[in-house]
Amino acid sequence: MIAVETTTDGVPDDNRLNQLGGGLTLGYGISRSWTIWAGYGEIIAKNDNSEGRMIRLRLIYAF
């Protein structure tokens, strides 16, 4: 878990967040030069009511 808390003038603001995220990424080689990756991630464990999901697509060209 990564804990994040802001401060004002060095004084903690008492707004600490503990969240754990995870995901899965799959890739496919279209040709020798082109690859595509698709990934999904979300918050798995948290200490508040925050929600987060992510979809990521990546097209890669190597020469």
Q: Are 23 and 41 a contacting pair, CB within 8 Å?
A: yes
What predicted TM-score, i.e. pTM, was given to this entire model? 0.62
The tally of domains found in the chain comes to 1
Per-residue model confidence (pLDDT) at position 28 = 97
How far is the C-alpha of 43 from the C-alpha of 17, rounded, in Å? 12
Q: Are 29 and 16 a contacting pair, CB within 8 Å?
A: no
Per-residue model confidence (pLDDT) at position 3 = 61
Q: Which domain holds residue 55?
A: 2-61
Q: Could you list the pLDDT tens digit for every one of the 63 residues in the chain? A: 556 678 888 887 877 778 899 999 999 999 999 999 999 999 998 888 888 999 999 999 999
